[in-house]
Every structure is written in C-alpha cells, then in structure tokens.
A and B are shown apart, each in its own frame.
Chain A
Amino acid sequence: MIETLLKKTPLHPVEHQLGGKMVDFGGWELPVQYSSILDEHEAVRTHAGLFDVSHMGEVTVKGPQALPLLQRTTCNDVSKLENGRAQYNGLLYPTAGFVDDILIYRMSGDDYFVVVNAANTDKDYEWLLECAKGMDVEVRNVSADYAQLALQGPEAERILQPLTDLDLSSMKYYRFAGGIVDGAASIVSRTGYTGEDGFEIYCEPEDGPRVFRTLVDRGVKPCGLGARDTLRLEAKMALYGNDIDHSTTPLEADLGWIVKLEKGDFMGREVLEREKAEGPRRKLIGFEMVDRGIGRHGYPVIDCGEEIGVVTSGTHSPTLKKPIGLAYLPLDKSAPGTEFTVLIRGKEARARVVPTPFYKRPKEQSR
C-alpha cells in the first residue's frame, strides 16, 4: 500500500534487521528509532552513534564557471573554500529566502560536491540548472550514486581509525578526504548534525550496508531520526522545513555568520544588506519553558491575544532533561531573559529566551 511508494535507502535491509522502527520521512522510509530516542541520544553524546543519512541529496557542480555559479546562488563566500574543505552555506532566492541550506565540498579546482536536504534534492538541482543556463558549468544530480553514513560521538575517531587508511587525527573539523573505509572507496568528512565530533562517510550504495554493519559490530549504536532531531536541536542546528524555509532569510535565522556581503553580488544580497542595516524584523531564538509543557513546531507565540511569532522546533532535551525549542520572535523581544507566551494546544504557557546553543561539546574534544 503506502509503503510501496516510499523510497528506501541502500541501508534499508540492515535497518530492518536491526529492529529499526520505520516511518515515512519526507517520502523516505527511515528508522525513527531502534531502541529509544533517549538511549540513542546519550550514546552519541557519550560514546558513538550511527545514522543512515543516505536520503540526503548530492549534486556535483563542475566546470570553469562552477565558482561563479555557486557564488551567485549562495550567501557564504565559496571563493574562500580550499580543496579538501567543506562549507555550510545558504542557497537563496532573490528574496533572500532559503532554497535550502547546504554543504559545499571543494573536491579540487572547479569541482564541487554539494550536499542538500533530501526533500529539496529535485528543487535544488532544478534551481541550480536554471541558474546555470548560459554558463560554462555542468550540474548533475548524483544522489543515487551514494550511500551516506554519519558516525557521530566522542569515540567516533577511535572506532573509525582502524577501518580506514586515512589519518583521522590530522583531519580537522569541516575537512574531508577520499580514502578506503572497511574496503569501500569513500569520501570521509569531519562534519555532522549532532553538535558532537564525528564523521560523515559517503560510499557506493552497494558498500553501505557492509560498512554500517561493521561499525555496529564494533559497538556503535544505530540511531534513528528521533535522536538526530534532539541532537541537532540541542546544538541549535537549523532544520529546513521547520526552522528555515523559502520565507526566512539567513539573518532572521540567526545565521549571520554565513552571510558575506563583501563577496560581491549574489541572489538575495539587496534584502540582506537592508536587513543588516535596519535589523531583520524577526529573529530565531532559543527558549526554555518556564511553565510545564513542551512548545512544539507550529505552536503560536502570543502577546496580548495577538500572534507575534511561532515555535519552529521543540522537544524534551535529553541532555538538559527539560523542554527546549526554537521560535521566531520580533527583534525587540528576542534578547535572552525575555519572557513570552506559547499557546500549547489552546493553553498559555510561559517560556524564556535563552542563549544558544543549548549544548556545546566539552572544549578538550573540540577541534
């Protein structure tokens, strides 16, 4: 029935064998959890966890005008990206709203590898194709060529090192390299979506299940989408479709660090320039609940009966053991310490703006 219409990743059979509780995630059948979100979350914070992120899309941008295309369509400065490094960036509409938030890898020279959100793959690919018209650049959707595994947690390096020819200790945050992992030709990057140290491994679809199994056999806990969401939220990493979308700008989303106005012209620049001068009209803030309850995605923020904002993400933080969330608030109500009211299924509950991220990994592990 419905299940036959869902897309499956190359790791689907392994996930099924390992007891993954499968759900429909944007058209993909993926595990929301194996044992418990709390256990999986804790494994990533204290040891290591393994996620199937093969649903993520990959688009290659190659050719003499690859850099000009990426510079024109994104807000971060791609010209600063050296070979072997990755960059978090925003693919923007002329309105400065997000087409998507993306990772750009510079493979070599004018050869770029762009990692995009699963549900946005076709949209992003078509958008880049459209923008590339008349330019000397080749844009290809190569999503089907890769399985992607995210090995995350303080023990990630120790566990992965014996399985690869790459020297992981010399690989710094947001660097990557091509190498062999458990016999599979792979791209290994020191990136992730959990706020923890770790690696993302891109390999051929047929190798994915073996690598996944090998890591699990070495004591890595398989983790689902549920823990991925609580982990990324504690680290205040934006989720497209929840915290950012076509109607939100990077400055509203508190992602000013990826907006490089000095790099020259790009789509959305005018809007961002104005927002930078005048301040965005709203801002994405982190909050904790003062009253009981959890403010979740879509719940309105009200003030004197008026809706003045909206919760974009909210959950129980397994690390802090209390409810946390993100919300858009008017700029003048966005300072830490400010209290506001969330409407939780018809009931008013007080919440307070707090500094973010909610969780930051201990310093000695940072690189």
Chain B
Amino acid sequence: MTPEDSRYAKSHEYVHVEGEVGTIGITDYAQKELGDVVFVELPQVGTELEQGDEMGSIESVKAVSELFAPVSGQVVEVNDALTEKPELVNTDAYGDGWMIRVKLTTPEEVDELMDAEEYEEYVEKEAGK
C-alpha cells in the first residue's frame, strides 16, 4: 500500500513532510523494480538540493539508478544505516529504508507532487507500457 501521508515524484521518490522537514526515500514500486539493493550513495549533510537535482545513486545487483530530489531543501540528516544494510530499502522502503531528511526551502513544491492515489495510477500506467 502506498502511504497516504506522503507525496510522490514521477522519478519514484517519496517525501514525507513533518513540519519543515521532509523525509525522502524511494517507493515500494521502485525498490521492486530495482531488485536487491546493494549500494546507496547519498549526499552529505549540509548539501543544498534543488528540486530535480541528482542527489545520489542506488545500485541493485542488476542495475544502477540515479536518485532525484523530489523537493528543494538542505540535507539535515542521512540514513547511515544504509551503508551497512542497503537491503533496508527493499524490506522497508517507507520506514527504515528512508534515505535523507531535508529542511524544505520551497514547501509549496510538495503540493505539486502526486498524492498516493495519483501515484498508484501513474505506476499502473508505467507498468502497462
């Protein structure tokens, strides 16, 4: 199930906003498409991201994908657990598999992202291609 309390980018990242901080990761659909994740490269704390910036990369056994910032913000926290346990992205994409937390600089961007229902429709269309 796609959590209803988060917003979604077309590049399959989610952002879960609490106050002025957004927690960013990739969606369950994205982790399934990638398969076993073995390496996640993330930006350092302090990095300023603009919406759509490449913020890192994620490698599964079979492929590599870029990660894009779904919103603009400054990185305030990075999930260090992924260094040792990148598989958390597979097992708990919306929970322990989160990637970074940013302090939002342009909060109104969040409203332009898809909600859970819109994202599910989007994924269905993509899968049917």
Contact = CB atoms under 8 A, between A and B. Distances in A.
A37 B41 contact: no
A292 B62 contact: no
B41 A226 contact: no
B36 interface: yes
Contacts of A352: none
A292 B40 CA distance: 10
Interface of B: 35-36, 38-39, 41, 57, 59-62, 64, 90, 129
Interface residues of A, number: 17
Contacts of A292: 39, 41
Contact of B39 (A37, A38, A226, A293): A293
A345 B57 contact: yes
Given A226-B61, A293-B39, 13 more contacts: A32-B62, A36-B35, A37-B60, A37-B62, A38-B36, A226-B35, A226-B62, A229-B62, A293-B59, A315-B61, A315-B62, A316-B59, A345-B64
Interface in A87-117: none
Contacts of B61: 37-38, 226, 230, 315-316, 318
A173 B53 CA distance: 53
Nearest to A23: B62
Interface in A187-233: 226, 229-230
Contacts of B36: 36-38
14 contacts: A1-B129, A32-B35, A36-B35, A36-B90, A37-B61, A37-B62, A226-B62, A293-B41, A294-B38, A294-B39, A315-B62, A316-B38, A318-B61, A345-B57
Contacts of A294: 38-39, 59, 64
Contacts, number: 39
B85 to A, nearest CB: 13
Nearest to B38: A316
Interface of A: 1, 32-33, 36-38, 226, 229-230, 292-294, 296, 315-316, 318, 345
Contacts of A38: 36, 61
Nearest to A37: B61
Contacts of B64: 294, 296, 345
A343 to B, nearest CB: 13
A230 B60 CA distance: 12
Nearest to A39: B36
B57 A37 contact: no
Q: Identify the 3 closest CB pairs spanning chains A and B, nearest first.
A: A316-B38, A37-B61, A38-B36
Nearest to B90: A36
B61 to A, nearest CB: 4
